[in-house]
Amino acid sequence: MARRSVGILAIQGDIEAHARALARVEADAVAVRHAEDLEGICALILPGGESTTISKGLERQGLYEPLEAFAKAGRPILGTCAGAVLLAREVENHPVRSLGLLDVVAVRNAYGTQVDSFAEVADSKLENLRCVFIRAPRLRRPGPEVLVLARVDGWPVFVRQGKILATTFHPELGDDPRIHGLLLELAG
């Protein structure tokens, strides 16, 4: 089987770490900065960073509508940390424009500042899923179509709605390729 190409939104975030994670699941990373960069990719990653900065970049590059069309065409998207915020139907504190593709409410920086970063093993069917949280959001009020795949301290940290995946942590910062692998599985 030929290697597939997965886009990584390249406005902000640890693009290289996601590219390394994709290489572990035998996929090629493609930087997405413009709408035409979405052509030819089978899936997309919205990485962490700062959601306000990324939102402004999406606006500046005219990417909101192309990203919505990408999802409506049935292509999978993984949002990590700030990327999860951008997927949410609503952002509760310090609202930013989101894509509204995931039926959850995101609370930005719910775990505190950079100094409050931590790692934890999640309560999940994915055994020993180690989660690295850096200024992480919290996901609240998941809708009826949202599957909670992992929790930490009772809070959803990994969710799925159709072909939309979101983590409040950074799966790219560990050696565990399962979440990036699931993204590829959803691409077919």
pLDDT in tens, the chain (188 residues): 578 999 999 999 899 999 999 999 999 999 999 999 999 999 999 999 999 999 999 999 999 999 999 999 999 999 999 999 999 999 998 778 999 999 999 998 766 656 556 687 888 888 888 898 888 899 999 999 999 999 999 999 999 999 999 999 999 998 899 999 999 999 98
Q: Indicate yes or no: pTM above 0.85.
A: yes
Supply the pLDDT for residue 115: 58
Centre a 10 Å sphere on the Cβ of residue 143 and count the other Cβ atoms it contains.
12
Q: How far is CA 126 from the centre of its chain?
A: 17
pLDDT for position 114: 63
Specify burial of residue 113 (Cβ count, 10 A radius: 0-12, 13-18, 19+). Answer: exposed
Catalytic residue among 18, 50, 131, 170: 170
Residue 18 a catalytic site member: no
Structure confidence at residue 174 (pLDDT): 83
Active-site choice (81, 94, 120, 145): 81
Q: What is the pLDDT of residue 118?
A: 62
What pLDDT score does 95 carry?
78
Enumerate residues 6+ apart whose C-beta is below 8 A from 13: 47, 48, 49, 54, 80, 82, 83
4-187: CATH superfamily: Class I glutamine amidotransferase (GATase) domain (3.40.50.880)
Q: What is the pLDDT of residue 162?
A: 98
Please give the pLDDT value at position 123. 82
Q: What is the pLDDT of residue 1?
A: 58
Annotated catalytic residue 172: yes
Is residue 170 part of the annotated active site? The answer reads yes
**Residue tagged active-site, from 18, 131, 172, 180:** 172
